[in-house]
């Protein structure tokens, strides 16, 4: 059993699949803290968790022609300036189960918890690439990452990002060895993972073994044959994965974590809570909440610090407390966020439905009953 050595997990996680391990925190725990505690951070594994010995671990950074390849131990990585940032990581399949309700898709049936936030610390990828002699001359190049996890044929998990993002110090791409002040937990990439702020989870390669600069994107299945968006008209007979770009920056997203679908709430007033986030460092500037299915709207209160312009890597939590008219029996609660490019969320799943069930950022809707 290749999964026999997987770590023990927290019992609060809602398990999607055990082998490989895929699980998300329940909504009420997800937004209890701005920083998601490590034990309940959502986990998305495609393969068994590798058992990496930190003493013998080496990161292979392939140098440019005429340059020098690096073989970095953990101690070597610690010698680079340590950089710490708060970053939200979201799987492209977050909220896929709502897409399924509209029409069947292939993929893990995530609810709204395939998203979490941590403080990540490590070396900046641009510093490590520079030491290997890489420069931003080939602007169309890509930085390819390989994990130490592999399938039965020996194929490793892999993904890539554009070299331009990797070399941009402002993009703050990290080779992270700490998560919330602790060494990375095994499920989250011990001892080193990539953190690409503002970019889809699939590019944050865990258990990082190799970094190379290539003229083309990674040839990995997960770069080329998955994690792409398509028209609702495309089905499994007609899909051409080469025709669509790989997902990198994610669109604006928000969801309601309280109250829960189908719940009966007290009369008099309601408190609605949730999260909002956008990709590419775009800040969330507003969250609108409706209690009547989208007929009328109220502006929610954004919690926490204002985000940095163009570097809004982490989510905003939000809440709305609103009085309820006497005698009201049910609420159709809806939320939608706006980012600083004034991008908005589509009102339904239908126009963004795709066969793989990725990129669901339709208005999130929760129906609740009000006690008499």
Could you check whether the bond before residue 274 is cis, i.e. omega within 30 degrees of 0? no
Tokens of residue 208, six digits: 């990082």
Give the shortest CB-291-to-ligand MTE separation in angstroms: 32
Distance CA 163, CA 136 (A): 7
CB 292 within 8 A of CB 328: no
**Main-chain phi, psi angles of 249, to 5 degrees:** -65, 140
Q: Tell me the window of 8-16, 39-47, 243-251, 304-312 that interacts with ligand MTE (CB under 6 A).
A: 39-47
- Taking residues 91 to 120 in sequence order and writing x for each that binds ligand MTE by CB under 6 A, - otherwise, the string is x-----------------------------
Pairwise CA distance, residues 6 & 165, whole Å: 33
Tell the smallest beta-carbon distance from residue 205 to ligand MTE (Å): 4
Measured between alpha carbons, how far is 12 from 99 in angstroms, rounded to an integer? 25
Q: How far apart are CA 124 and CA 21, in angstroms?
A: 29
Min CB(165)–Mo ion separation in Å: 18
Beta carbon nearer to Mo ion, 70 or 148: 148
Ranked by CB distance to Mo ion, the top (closest) residue is 91
Q: Burial, 53: exposed, middle or buried (Cβ in 10 Å; 0-12, 13-18, 19+)?
A: exposed
Q: Which of 31, 45, 131, 160 binds ligand MTE (CB under 6 A)?
A: 45
Find which of Mo ion, ligand MTE, none residue 42 binds, CB within 5 to 8 Å per kind.
Answer: ligand MTE
Work out whether 125 is an interface residue with ligand MTE (CB under 6 A): no
Angle at 328 between CA 325 and CA 330, to 5 degrees: 130
Nearest to 60 by CA among 154, 145, 165: 145
Total number of residues that touch ligand MTE (CB under 6 A)? 20
Binds 211: which of Mo ion, ligand MTE, none (CB < 5-8 Å by kind): none
212 is a site residue for ligand MTE (CB under 6 A): no
Binder among 52, 72, 91, 276 for Mo ion (CB under 5 A)? 91
**Spatial distance between the Cα atoms of 129 and 125, rounded to a whole number of angstroms:** 6
- 39's CB contacts (< 8 A; 6+ apart) are 9, 10, 12, 185
Strands 253-258 and 298-299, by their bridges, are unpaired
Minimum distance, C-beta of residue 115 to ligand MTE, in the bound complex (Å) = 9
User: Residue from 124, 186, 206, 364 that binds ligand MTE (CB under 6 A)?
Assistant: 206
CA proximity to 147, closest of 108, 184, 111: 184
Residue 186 binding: pick among ligand MTE, Mo ion, none (C-beta 5-8 Å cut-off by kind) = none
204 binding ligand MTE? (CB under 6 A) = yes
| Nearest distance, CB of residue 196 and ligand MTE, angstroms | 10
Q: Rule CB under 5 A: say whether 337 interacts with Mo ion.
A: no
Tokens (6 digits) for 3: 């999964």
Q: Does 205 bind ligand MTE (CB under 6 A)?
A: yes
**Site track 145-184 with Mo ion (rule: CB under 5 A), x = hit:** ----------------------------------------
Whole-number Cα distances in Å, 138 to 229, 304, 310:
27, 40, 24
Q: Is 193 in the site for Mo ion (CB under 5 A)?
A: no
Q: Is 42 in the site for ligand MTE (CB under 6 A)?
A: yes
At 129 the three-state DSSP class reads helix
What is the contact surface with Mo ion in residues (CB under 5 A)?
Answer: 44, 91, 201-202
What is the contact surface with ligand MTE in residues (CB under 6 A)?
Answer: 41-47, 89, 91, 147, 149, 157, 187-188, 201-202, 204-207
């Amino acid at each position: 059993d290749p999964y026999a050595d997987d770590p023990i997990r927290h019992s609060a996680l809602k398990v999607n699949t055990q082998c490989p391990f895929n699980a998300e925190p329940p909504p009420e725990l997800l937004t209890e803290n701005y920083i998601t505690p490590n034990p309940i951070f959502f986990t998305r594994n495609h393969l068994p968790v590798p058992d990496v010995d930190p003493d013998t671990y080496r990161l292979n950074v392939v140098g440019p022609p005429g340059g020098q390849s690096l073989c970095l131990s953990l101690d070597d990585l610690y010698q680079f300036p340590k950089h710490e940032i708060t970053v939200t990581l979201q799987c492209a399949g977050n909220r896929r189960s709502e897409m399924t309700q509209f029409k069947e898709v292939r993929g893990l049936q995530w609810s709204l918890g395939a998203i979490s936030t941590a403080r990540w610390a490590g070396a900046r990828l641009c510093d490590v690439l520079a030491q290997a002699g890489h420069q931003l001359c080939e602007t169309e190049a890509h930085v390819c990452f390989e994990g130490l996890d592999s399938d039965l044929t020996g194929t490793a998990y892999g993904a890539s990002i554009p070299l331009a993002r990797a070399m941009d110090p402002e993009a703050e791409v990290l080779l992270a060895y700490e998560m919330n002040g602790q060494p990375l937990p095994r499920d989250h990439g011990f001892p080193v993972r990539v953190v690409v702020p503002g970019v889809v989870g699939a590019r944050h390669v865990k258990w990082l073994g190799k970094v190379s600069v290539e003229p083309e994107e990674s040839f990995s299945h997960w770069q080329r044959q998955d994690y792409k968006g398509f028209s609702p008209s495309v089905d499994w007979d007609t899909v051409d994965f080469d025709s669509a770009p790989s997902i990198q920056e994610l669109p604006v997203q928000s969801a309601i974590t309280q109250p829960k679908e189908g719940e009966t709430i007290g009369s008099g007033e309601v408190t609605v809570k949730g999260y909002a986030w956008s990709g590419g460092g775009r800040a969330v500037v507003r969250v609108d909440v409706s209690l009547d299915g989208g007929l009328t709207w109220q502006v929610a209160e954004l919690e926490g610090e204002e985000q940095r312009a163009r570097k809004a890597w982490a989510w905003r939590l939000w809440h709305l407390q609103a009085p309820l008219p006497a005698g009201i029996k049910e609420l159709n609660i809806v939320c939608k966020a706006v980012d600083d490019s004034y991008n908005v969320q589509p009102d339904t799943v239908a126009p963004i439905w795709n066969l793989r069930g990725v990129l669901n950022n339709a208005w999130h809707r929760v129906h609740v009953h009000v006690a008499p």
